[in-house]
Every structure is written in structure tokens, then in C-alpha cells.
Amino acid sequence: MIGSATSCHDTLSSDPEITVIEVDFEELATSGALALTSRDLSIVDDVCAPPSAADPLIGMVVADRYRIIEVIGRGGMGIVYMVEHVRIGKLLAMKLLRGELSCRPDVVRRFKREALCVSRLQSPNTVQVFDFGVSEGLTYLVMELVHGQNLARVLQTQGPMPAARLGKIVIQICSSLAEAHKKGIVHRDIKPDNVMLVAADGGAEVAKVLDFGLAKLREAEGRSDVTAGGMILGTPYYMAPEQIRGGEEVDQRSDIYSIGAMMYRALTGVHPFHGEPLTVLNKHLHDLPVPPHERAPACGIPLGMSLLVMRALAKDPADRFQHVEELQSLLVREIQAAGGSSVESLLDEGRVRRLAAPKAASATSDEVDAYERKLRRKRHGAVVLAALAVSAATATGFLLPHPAKLRGVEIEPNNTAAEATPLPLGQPLRGQLGQRLDASHGDRDFYAVDLPRNGAAAKAYLQLQVSALPTLATCLILYRPGFDDPVGQFCGGRAGRELAIPILELDPGRYLLVVLQDLDSYGGERPAIQESISDSYTVLARSVAKPQEGTSSTGEEAVPAARVGVERKCAEWTKNPPARIGRRSR
């Protein structure tokens, strides 16, 4: 509570900020009180204990490219480190999920959703996300390194903020959220801690919104599982009533309420409502806040700004601004009416982007993108080389497999389509992914198989199987001679996984099979090229009869014949679903 304040700064509240509250509830009491007790609340403070001087992760290289340098922040979900991209020599920020949270699939899904959401956003007022992955059990999110302070720290050290300065900050926050809302993304946790302020040339100040970790993608299918089960995610001081109640649609107007609560805090030095977490939540639901200009008269808050905040804090979403662009437009007019400096430059995305340009030591999105493109080219190099080998061998319109007599093993060399080892139907052959072709490409084995016509049927049916290798993951690529694009591509995703394709419906004729190492990183660390000298695999192709509806030719659960050019679920292709399946029609 506030006594008779003698100055604007005397109104600064000493209440600590509460970062995350997760409320698991059964129902709301009809009397207006939440049907909760204190034991239902899980509160995580944004300020954690000081880090240990012997952080075991300092100096570690994550995903073969991010060297951890130092801790720059801590929160409820994990730790934020400054890291160096060792391939380009530039600095970034990495959010690392706490070890115990990495074991919770729901939290990892939420963490991945943050990466998915923010990677779609390009506004210069949004902290850019460059990469996401899992490496050696560490779940990480790589972002641009922002040099500045968050709004919460500024308010704590400087006290209530002049309306003109706050207006310019909120105008930029609206620019960030406008893009997000147009893409169906609701932030759900707007608060001073999630707004970074960057000092730019000429005394300008650039605001950047971060941490879309609680964002929700609004989909036609229904609500996100993030809020399933009555779980409230957010910060009590800034939560909209519909977000507190749960079971209601949370849209862009909930973010507008949070902006209103944040502006109230910044203008007056206090939150709209105070008390224990449950008390604060109940007041958001049922009480009207004292208008900012009345709450802190010594701060000289313009009446127009005060009314704007009160409209944003309306209990009913229909009574608030319906879009952040409306709020932004009124803020521009308020600042101009007060005789403040021009704010037009804050609406110029190109100018803001130049003002917010990272320091020379920090990585830019262009630099990171260029490296990732290069990495992707290397990752798919083996598949491309295989395709080129097929193309070269089929340029003359025919293939000549090895004439040598088979002894149940591959006939080396069989690194190209022209050298393909014949693979008789029903006869397993043993092969090895042995000596690499060069420093950048592992071994690959080509096989040629002839699929006969089954009587008068127009189609033939093929089963394929490649046994597992204990030390490396494999891919099986199926080509039709004369075509560069594969008919199918089946990858195990991890070592020790068999590739088993129950039934493929194909045109009769010759096909090429290529067995090679799976070098896809699947969001984690890219596998090293290996030479499996001591272990061998077995490749087997069978021609089978057309399965009857409801059963397969092997007596297993029926798998519909796969038609070339039709995408199929992984479970329909393999007994152990692969991590990636690619198919193209011919």
C-alpha cells in the first residue's frame, strides 16, 4: 500500500517480481474466490542463487560449434550462457534447459515450441532465435546476443518511468507482437523481464521482446496442450483474467492486458494489484485498479496515457483494444500531443534494424544462416553423390552390374550405379560400410535388383530389409534406373536400428538400392563419418504376392501397398519407425 507519497520515486514498490506461476486447479469458486490453496502454487523466482564458480559446462562445446563462455542469466526453466560459435568466431546467447526439466517431455515440447515460434519472427524488435537442438543430453536454444538491460532491472534501479520514454518502448513492443499475432502466436508472458532495452546511437533506445516460451500457436484443431489440464502459465502480476480462469480462449487481447499491467507498473512504480499470489489472481478477476494518474499523482502521468492503460486492463477482452496496432496508434498520438520528439522512426523497420544492429563481436542472422546452409550441403553430400552416380551411369541408357559370381557378399567396389552388385530376390547378401571414399564422404554400397511382373498384374510388390549396425545409423535409398530422384529414402535415425520396409507397390523392372550411413543430425550433433570395418549388415529383397485386404503376405498386420509418390506414415514403412522418410514420384 502507498502512503502519502512526496515524490514519484517514493511510490516504487519493494514487492519482488514473480516470474512463473503454474496453477493446477479443479474449478473456480462461484463466490469469486479461486478454489485453490497455497500448496497448489508453484512459484519460480527469476533471481536464483549465485552460480557455482566451478560450472562444469564452462568451456564445453555444444553441438560441435557452440563453446560456452559464461553465465549471463538464470530463470525458472534454465540458464542463459554467452557462447562462441567456434566456426564463425562470433558470440551468441544460449538458453540451456535445466537437467531435470530435460527429462520431462512436456517441458521439452514447450521449449521446442519456443524455438518453432520465434524462428518464424523477423521483427527487429524481437530477439532472433537461430538454432535449437539436443546434444549430449543438453537441450539448447541459440539466440542473438543482446547487449542491454531488461526493463525490470531499469525499473528497479531508476524507479517509475516518464510517460514519453515508456510510450516509445511500448510502441516497439507492439511492433514485435503485431508480427507474432498475425502469425497466430500469442506471447502469454509479457512482463518487464521479457523486454530488453538496447542503447543505440544518438540516444535512441531499441526494445526487443524475448522468451516466447509460453507462446501458443492457435490452430483450427483446438487448444494447445500447453494449457491442458487446467494449467495456468504466466506471471500473476501481468496475467489477464481469461488466462487465470483457464478453459477460455487466450488470444492477442491477453497480451494487450499484460501490456497494460506492465505500463501501470512502469508509470506508477507499483503493480495494479498487490498481495499473495492468490490474492493478486483474484483481484485480476474481480477488482478494478485505481487509475494510474490517481495512484501516483506525483509522477505527472498524462490523463490520456492513464485512460489508455485502463482500457488495456479491461476485464472483458471485448472492452480492450482488439489489436496491438490500435494501442500503438494511440500511443503515437499521445506522445505527439504531449510535444515529445518524433516517433516515426520507431515505426520504420529498416531504421530500427540498423539501430539494433549487433556489435561486431556478436553473430548476425546472416552469418549463422550462411554456416547452417554450408552444413546442410555437407550433410546431404552423400545422398547427392549417390544421385550423381546414378545419373552418370544411366546417361547412356543402361547399367552393367558386376558379372562376377556371387558368394553371398557384396562385390567391391560397388560405390556407383555402374558397379552395382546384383541382389537376387530372396537371397540375403552381406555388406560393409567400410573405408570412406574421401575425408568428407563415407562408404556407400549399390545393389541392383530385378522385380518381375506377377502374372498379368500391372504392379509388383517388394519387401526390403537391411539389418542393424551397432555403431552407426543407416539409410536405404531406392532408385529407378534412368531417374536422378529416388523413389524412396528410408533412414533409421540411430545406430542399432533395422530398416524393414514391409511392402512397396512398384512397376516391374530393375531398381537400384543404395546403403549408406545416415548423417542427418535430427536437430542434434551431426554424426561423424564412420568406417564399420568389423561389423557387417545383411540386405534382403523379396518379391511378394499382392496382399489381400486385412492381411499381409507374411501374416502380419496388413500394410497397404505403398504407391510411389504418395506420402506414408513411418509406421507403415518399418517395424521400428525411422526418423526420416523421403519419397518422390516418378
Q: How far apart are CA 119 and CA 58, in angstroms?
A: 26
Q: How far apart are CA 63 and CA 455, in angstroms?
A: 53
Contact 486, 387 (CB under 8 A): yes
Q: What is the DSSP letter of 322?
A: S
Q: Which of 46, 131, 189, 520 is catalytic?
A: 189
Cell digits for 222? 483446438
Angle at CA of residue 517, ends 512 and 521, nearest 5°: 125
Contact 436, 531 (CB under 8 A): yes
Please check whether residue 324 is in contact with residue 252, taking contact to mean a CB–CB distance below 8 angstroms.
yes
CB atoms within 10 A of CB 436: 15
Single out the residue of 77, 341, 358 nearest to residue 196, CA to CA.
358
Cell of 567: 506420402
Residue 201 falls in the annotated catalytic set:
no
- Which residue in the block uniquely carries the three cell numbers 505527439? 336
Exposed / middle / buried, residue 238 (Cβ in 10 Å: 0-12, 13-18, 19+): buried
- The H or E element containing residue 158 is helix 151-158
Is residue 568 within 8 Å of residue 562, measured between CB atoms?
yes
Count the Cβ atoms, other than its own, within 10 Å of residue 336.
14
For the annotated catalytic residues, the residue numbers are 189
